[in-house]
Amino acid sequence: MSAIQIIFWFLSALAIVSALMVLISKNPVHSVLWLIMVFFAISGHYILLNAQFLAIVNLIVYAGAIMVLFLFVIMLMNLNNESEPQKNVWMRLAGAVSGGCLLMILVSLVRQAIEINNKVAEMKVGDIGLIGNLGKALFKDYLVPFEISSVLFLSAMVGAIVIGKKN
Amino acid sequence: MNWLPMLLDATESTAANYFPIGIQIIFAVGFVAFMIALSAWVGPKRKTSDKLESFTSGISTHGDARHPMAIKYFLVAILFVLFDVEVIFFYPYAVNFKSLGWGGFEAVLLFVAFFLVGFFYIIKKGALTWED
Amino acid sequence: MNAIILSALLGVVMMFASVFTENKIAIRNIAIFGLLILLASNLLNIYTPYSFNVDLHNMLRFDSFGLFFNSIAIVSTLLYVILSGSDIVKVGNYPAEYFALIFFVLCGVTILSSYNSLLMLFLGVEIMSIPLYILTGSDKKNLKSNEASLKYFLMGAFSTGIMLMGIALLYGASGNFNLEMIREKTSIAEFGILAPLGLLLIFISLAFKVSAAPFHFWTPDVYDGAPSVFTSFMATIVKTAGFIAFVKLFSLRMADLGPSYAIILPVIIIATLLVGNITAVFQQSVKRMLAYSSIAQAGFMLFALYTSNDLSTEGILLYAAAYSIATIGIFGILIKMKDYTFDGYNGLAKKQPLVAATNTVFLLSLAGIPLTAGFFAKYYMLASALKSNGSALWLVIVAVLFAAVSVYYYFRVIQAMYFKDGDAETTEIDGTFKFVLVVLALLIILIGINPSILLRWYYF
């Protein structure tokens, strides 16, 4: 097993375990911290795939900014242990069964997918993730979605004012 | 392996370039962990119940730290995220500044214009004024 | 392209309007004027070569189907704003912002009618949904509105996540975002097994957006909790735009997606019809009844996915127009009522004969009674299913049976208005409101007598 494979398996295990901990933790703040862990593991994967810009953006925007928002929301809602609603056992069971079904289907499909069996992701090679090539793709081929996404930002700003501003 | 040329040669962008950064991270984390462990091991130990309480300048604590906070913080935070994402789009443009030419400049200008409109709107609506 | 660019710019104009004026009437008039400009620009795009020339890199593709739907959506919004504009400005302290958000939703709608890349599908869905989450929660002092907004946002974000997962799988299987890649293969299974899975996930997500059973659970709560004016917008323009996006992606390939899809779609159609119609029967509030009825109507619109021929494309356009116009009218009247229960309508015919008469026309159209637009809309949908596939007869029979059930709950409102004594309390109803109601009713009857009045513009 090469060093890269060891790193890959370590990061994958870290991502999955942290993601599970997000769900399992009783304290919502701990969930957020575990989520940050997931983002770090995913960023590690991006670096393995030679998508360095994406890795850093993932850390700055998600682990940095959006997680702070998450913390704010949790503090806004004043979640104490007492205020946590009692969940119905049957609802939990139904959720577990349906989620398990989905997991089973996804896993069996991936196992059946011959085109990806026994194939390893391209590590260290490929240069589309580099910032220069990303910029060329973004400002040439994907220019229209890029410009239109500014409408999304504008509506988010209007929304922040309409919902969040005290009056 | 010959490390020195790799450390100096930054023209070729591969994940291996991150090796020095990786070493640095490992060193930083290891150093901090080592110092904490060392001070816990070497330092004197005196366990009292007062020590475990949070320090509030001598006034006894009351209540809970989980108080609902003002929406203003949240508003500023969400606006920050929006402009943060905008700035991140500048990096790929800056790297390709010359090769994209005027076409790329117009594209970025349009994008920024939309954001400036939003910024003007936010200022005029007084979303960033702290006292109200 | 005209409509996409202008709707975004008009949204900006409304944002500025909020900064410079507080006058609610002026704001409404600016919005109406903006919608007229938007309509004119879209018509220019269809019938003349005057349109913005943008290098699209194959991200969008403008065809007569999408552009004609744009016209329907813009006209519906125009009628909606003229009819209910004075109620929109009353919802909260941000009248101009509501219109700005409506324009942004229209931007999303116009993207969804012309996307040619899965990336644009995602952007369109987001631009359409995010302003809606805000509009749903715009009645900030009302706890139900807040709850509806949060529910809508969480469920909507989750469904968008599922869509992204589907797009990622489809991209992984084909290496391409473009819709042509789906079209040029004879069977989607040629991409390998990941592509059908990706399409299925996108299907689930879009089914959520159009509130098809079993992904409909958010609909009653959100439609009920949102301010009534915005429920009207949500249930009409946004819902039909979801169907246009659905049809653009799926109608071509539904048949050769494999046998499992041939089972999934009829099951979803029947489940949607069943849930919508049967639950609507037991409602006490007209607003909630309309939420379930919108699920039921979605069941009929899903027939456009079942087949792909001239009748179904014409049918979905006709359905979009007929359903939007009638629902806008019904909601316009509902907003004016002080009591949203069926009993609140008691004796409306005596107090407001004209309003009651037009309301009857709208309800008859939703029920699909002949001589109204709704009849032809349903007829086209069912005929297209029969035309392409004789074995669909049982599905058509089931649909007709459920249409008969729907007559029951629509007639409950008519019965309350005409045959029950009561004092139906309304807020003030002015002349413009009545005039627009009459225009809407006339449109319904005209299309109901001769649907080619509408459809000939499609083939212009």
Domain map of chain A by residue range? Answer: 3-80+87-129, 130-167
- Mutate which of C4, C5, C12, C101 to disrupt the B interface (most B C-beta within 10 Å)? C12
Report yes or no: A134 at the B interface, CB cutoff 8 Å: yes
A154–C194 CB contact, under 8 Å: no
| CA dihedral for C380, C382, C383, C388, sign (positive or negative) | positive
Q: Which residues of B touch C12 (CB under 8 A)?
A: 114, 117
C286 and C334 assigned to the same domain: yes
Q: B19 in a domain, yes or no?
A: yes
Classify residue B40: in a domain, yes or no: yes
| Chain C residues closer than 8 Å to A154 by CB | 8, 11-12, 15, 104
Does residue B72 lie in a domain region?
yes
Domain membership of residue B131 (yes or no) is no
Domain count, chain C: 2
CB-neighbour burial class of residue A137 (10 A; exposed 0-12, middle 13-18, buried 19+): middle
Cβ distance A130 to A50 under 8 Å? yes
Does the distance separating the beta carbons of A158 and C15 come in below 8 Å?
yes
Residues β-bridged to residue C341: C285
Is the distance from CB of C362 to CB of C329 less than 8 angstroms? yes
Say yes or no: C316 and C330 in one domain.
Answer: yes
Q: Which of A105, A112, A158 to mutate to test the interface with C (most CBs of C within 10 A)?
A: A158
**Domain identity same for C195 and C245:** yes
Final residue belonging to a domain, choices C232, C257, C282: C257
Domains: count for chain B: 1
pLDDT digits (tens, 9 = 90+) for C145-196: 999 999 999 999 999 999 999 999 888 888 888 888 777 776 666 777 788 8
* Average pLDDT value over all residues in chain B: 82
CB C49 within 8 A of CB C40: no
A80/B66 CB distance under 8 A: yes
Q: Do C85 and C165 sit in the same domain of this protein? A: yes
* Cα C142–Cα C144–Cα C147 angle in degrees, nearest 5: 115
**Does residue A20 surpass a pLDDT of 50?**
yes
Which structural domain, as residue segments, surrounds residue C391?
A: 258-460
Q: With cut-offs at 50, 70 and 90, classify the pLDDT of residue B1.
A: very low
Does residue C296 share a domain with residue C251?
no
Smallest Cα distance from B26 to chain A, Å = 14
| Same domain, residue pair C3 and C106 | yes
Does any domain span residue B48? yes
Pair (C147, C283) in one structural domain: no
Supply the CATH classification number for the domain A3-80+87-129. 1.20.120.1200
CA C120 to chain A, closest CA, distance in angstroms equals: 6
Residues C161 and C278 in one domain: no
Same domain, C92 and C198: yes
Contact assignment for A73 to B117 by CB distance below 8 Å: no
Using a CB–CB cut-off of 8 Å, the residues of C that contact B are 12, 15-16, 18-19
**Residue C15 to residue B114, Cβ atoms within 8 A:** no
Structural domain that includes position B85: 3-125
Do the chains contact at B107 and A143, CB–CB below 8 Å?
yes
Taking the C-alpha atoms of residue C363 and residue B97, their distance in angstroms, rounded to an integer, is: 59
Q: Collapsing DSSP states into helix, strand and coil, what is residue C285?
A: strand
Q: Check CB contact of C194 with chain A, cutoff 8 Å.
A: yes
Mean pLDDT, chain C, whole residue set: 89
| CATH of residue B116 | 1.20.58.1610
Q: Which residues of chain C have pLDDT under 50?
A: none
Contact list in B for residue C16 (CB cut-off 8 A) is: 117, 121
| Domain end marker among C240, C257, C274 | C257
Higher pLDDT: B122 or C422? It is: B122
Instruction: State yes or no: cis peptide before C370, omega within 30 of 0.
Output: no
Distance in angstroms (rounded) separating the CA atoms of residues C42 and C241: 16
As a whole-number percent, the residues of chain A with pLDDT over 70 amount to 86
Q: In terms of CA atoms, which chain A residue is nearest residue B64? A: A80
